[in-house]
Chains A and B, each alone.
Chain A
């Protein structure tokens, strides 16, 4: 029997006894969340299970929700079951003051660079990552530019007059 979102939800609920929660479907794609401590267990289960077989990590990124106190940073895994062509989004939330999330780079090699990028822009500390350093930005950068508290513009510039750029 082909895999469906209903079966997936049932299997996850049975396996993790309600720790995996917040199932919802938007734009035809299911998403759910879990506590960050069990992110690898969920990913491993989705990977290894003979029925689920989510063995392709399409994307890994983070989102910053400043008003979501205690759960400011969301790490989002996009997974793909190639055989049944089913995709899911899996989120874990973390406190921005202690953004430690276990690395998925042992399970998916693709996660290696994507976690470096996520660290680069959001400062998520992937515990156990083999080479967690900046990948796209200059090494000297001392902040995480995609966090909402930082404006887009380069704050070190001195030659541009704010009034001339409509920001006065």
Chain B
């Protein structure tokens, strides 16, 4: 008897909808491939980012959709959402941060190990958004340095994914010496860190 619903009855040609990462520049020959350490580590890091969701309001709900099966952030190597800052690479601040919450965000950032990145998702985390009021922090970049801002109120999952891809770009291209540099130290000191 024919089943009412059949799956996979159409033959799908493989590889047409699969995109492969490009190989970094380098020299290759029979049995070897030589490239710079920077690029290898960048490639490894950018495809295995562990996000730490710091979700305080509706942008967090969009992030949950982003993590779900439909948008599936796991495709980009961010399968593992850590809920401990000590394990994570990417702090995703999603939602309104009240001034009273500011020290908490900073504390979470301080607990993360270097190298660490920060993404401000949504209008509130980026600028305070519609909450132009005495009790709300007017953008988390007043307390911690931010790498990528995602606009929107709230941003759609596509926008959040775009933000993650931009973070991946930054991660992949970052010099291994950046975090030891004078400029980076000055940036952190600008926020009163270390």
What is the interface of chain A, defined by CB distance below 8 A to chain B? 136-138, 141, 145, 150, 152-155, 157, 159-160, 165
Contact of B134 among A150, A160, A165 (CB under 8 A): A150
- Min Cβ gap A159→B in Å is 7
Is the beta-carbon distance between A152 and B138 smaller than 8 angstroms?
no
B139: A residues at CB distance < 8 A: 159
- Residue B162 CB within 8 A of the other chain: no
Q: Which residues of A contact B99 (CB under 8 A)?
A: 137-138
Q: Is the CB of A152 within 8 A of B127?
A: no
In angstroms, Cα B24 to Cα A76, docked, is: 70
B103 nearest CB neighbor, chain A only? A138
- Please name all residues of chain B whose beta carbon is closer than 8 Å to the beta carbon of A150 when the two chains form the complex: 134
Contacting residues, chain A, for B133 (C-beta < 8 A): 152-154
- B11 interface residue (CB < 8 Å to A): no
Number of residues on chain B facing chain A (CB within 8 A): 11
Cα of A159 to Cα of B99 in the assembled complex, Å: 16
Q: List residues of B (130-169) whose CB comes within 8 Å of A's CBs.
A: 132-136, 138-139
Count A/B pairs, Cβ under 8 Å.
Answer: 35
**Of A138, A159, A160, most B-chain CB atoms within 10 Å:** A138
Query: B-side binding surface: helix, strand, loop or mixed?
Result: loop
Nearest Cβ on chain A to B57's Cβ, whole angstroms: 17
| Chain B residues, Cβ within 8 Å of A145 | 134-135
- A156 vs chain B, min Cβ distance (A): 9
Task: Verify if B100 is at the interface (C-beta below 8 Å from A).
Answer: yes
Nearest CB of chain A from residue B103's CB, rounded to whole Å: 9
Closest to A137 in B: B135
Nearest chain B CB to A89's CB is how many angstroms away? 27
- Residues in B with CB closer than 8 Å to A155 are 134
Is the CB–CB distance between B100 and A138 below 8 Å? yes
Q: Which residues on A sit within 8 Å (CB–CB) of B138?
A: 154, 157, 159-160
Distance A159 CA – B139 CA, assembled complex (angstroms): 10
Given contacts A137-B100, A138-B99, A138-B100, contact A154 B134 (CB under 8 A): yes
Q: Smallest CB–CB gap between B139 and chain A, Å? A: 7
Chain A minimum-CB-distance residue to B136: A154
CA distance A37 to B157 in the complex (A): 59
16 A-B Cβ contacts within 8 A? Answer: A136-B100, A145-B135, A152-B133, A153-B133, A154-B132, A154-B136, A157-B128, A157-B132, A157-B138, A159-B127, A159-B138, A159-B139, A160-B127, A160-B132, A160-B138, A165-B132
Q: A154 contacts which chain B residues (CB < 8 A)?
A: 128, 132-134, 136, 138
Give chain A residues whose Cβ lies under 8 Å from the Cβ of B132.
152-154, 157, 160, 165
**Nearest chain A CB to B31 CB, angstrom units:** 56
Chain A residues within an 8 Å CB radius of B128: 154, 157
Residues on A with C-beta less than 8 A from B100 are 136-138
Nearest chain A CB to B129's CB is how many angstroms away?
A: 11
Contacts of B136 in A (CB 8 A): 154
A92 to chain B, nearest CB (A): 27
A165 and B133 alpha carbons, distance in the complex (Å): 13
